[in-house]
Structure 1
Amino acid sequence: MKEHDVEEFIREITRHQSVMTAFIRSLLPGYCDPRDVLQEVNITLWKKKEQYEPGSNFKAWAFKVAKYHVLNERRKLKRSHVIVFDDDLLEAFSAEGENLLSNEMLDDRMVALRRCLEGLSERHRSLLKLRYSKDVSIEQYAESQNRKAGTLRATLRQIRIKLKDCVMGRLREVTP
């Protein structure tokens, strides 16, 4: 690979990090840190950089590599008895995700999500951070707060609905 092609490859891989992270997260919701899988995807992409043809669709190629890493992660999760999506459903999400996750659309969604998160109370933001980190389970948090885990789950559901409605509303404002 020529030096110019390597530079272009690095630009492409860098440009697609956020959309690949979102793609991985959409296929493995709540089960692992998508950045762990993304790191493995990046290593594979770098090792296979000679197979990439400059000027071709980098995103489609990278998503295909990411999908194989997601499938591998799913196999690990199944062995550890974690419930995961059916493979046919994963395939459908994968195909849909490749089409929907353009960098521009992702940027609009991230801006909308940030603004909507700012509108939440500090308590609700903290609860969301807790839920999407791997350090503390809902049960552990509930116990530390003298609350019931079921109540926290119901609160999280309400927060997610509120966030979804807020993000969708903001996206309607942005999209003509």
Structure 2
Amino acid sequence: MEDKDQFLRLFLNSEGELLAYILSMGIDPHCAEDVLQETALVMFKKFDEFEKGTNFRAWAFTIVRYQILRLRKWQARQPIQLSDEAMNRLEARALNEDNTHIQFEALTHCVDKLSDNSREMVRMRYNKKMDLPDIAQQLSRPVDSIYTTMSRIRKTLQDCVEDFGRHGAKAHD
């Protein structure tokens, strides 16, 4: 019982910092709460492995870092989700045009709008089929920064494709 009380006290003292760190890593606020809950669960299960008298905060940040990496790996495997409105517009246009052509046009247009560095990362990831740690190594950047950058690129592409679906190519020229 004493261990549970000690864990709770230590965790509650670090909870705000952990959440701030998660959010500072570019994690969506809803996902950040989930990451914090998963972190608390892992920490509670592994609390008997924590060496009393050592730095609880450092231990907690190590665990939350791994939970963020786990989330990013999961997100990297998820397809881009379009809003219902964008889907409806793309569906309506597909009645008049080849749907594959529209999607390709939207994605090509949006990729062309990316910075040179972002386009190169997309090319490495999807054309060359490189995994993110290999991209990090080739670009001499930390793996975490590659995960963050790719997440932002995917979000940018998602927003652009949705906007393309709402307004078409003419609004983007």
Based on CA coordinates, which of the two structures has the bigger radius of gyration?
2
What is the TM-score normalised by the length of structure 1? 0.45
What is the TM-score normalised by the length of structure 2? 0.45
